[in-house]
Amino acid sequence: MDCIFCKIVNREAPADIIYEDEQVISFYGLHFSAPVHALVIPKKHIMNVMDIQEDDERIVYKIHQGIQEVAKILGVENDGFRVITNTGQHGQQEINHLHYHIIGGRQLKWDM
């Protein structure tokens, strides 16, 4: 598989890792849109939210638990942050591996 996120999970590609457990891994995003920009991904390759299956229930929980931990590590848990996942072409998904952006560290606006 030629998925950059799978390569990060398998330590075949570099990443600045923030948090990791048995189901998820988090690392800093490359394109910063705010002072805090991190990604949380499942270690299992799931293309996007449309591919989540019933047996992925534990993974979905662990992703959200990972988001909570990363928010605490990066110090945005009290002031707030945004969690974004993109799905498909119109959602501007660039990497076909489920991933959640944690964006914060300043007052965010809706620029659509």
Catalytic residue from among 37, 97, 99, 101: 99
Q: Is 99 a catalytic residue?
A: yes
Whole-number Cα distances in Å, 66 to 32, 77, 109? 20, 12, 24
Query: Which residues lie closer than 8 Å to 23 by C-beta, 6 or more apart?
Result: 42, 43, 44, 58, 59, 62, 63, 66
* 88: nearest Cα among 38, 51, 53: 51
**Which sequence positions are flagged as catalytic?**
99
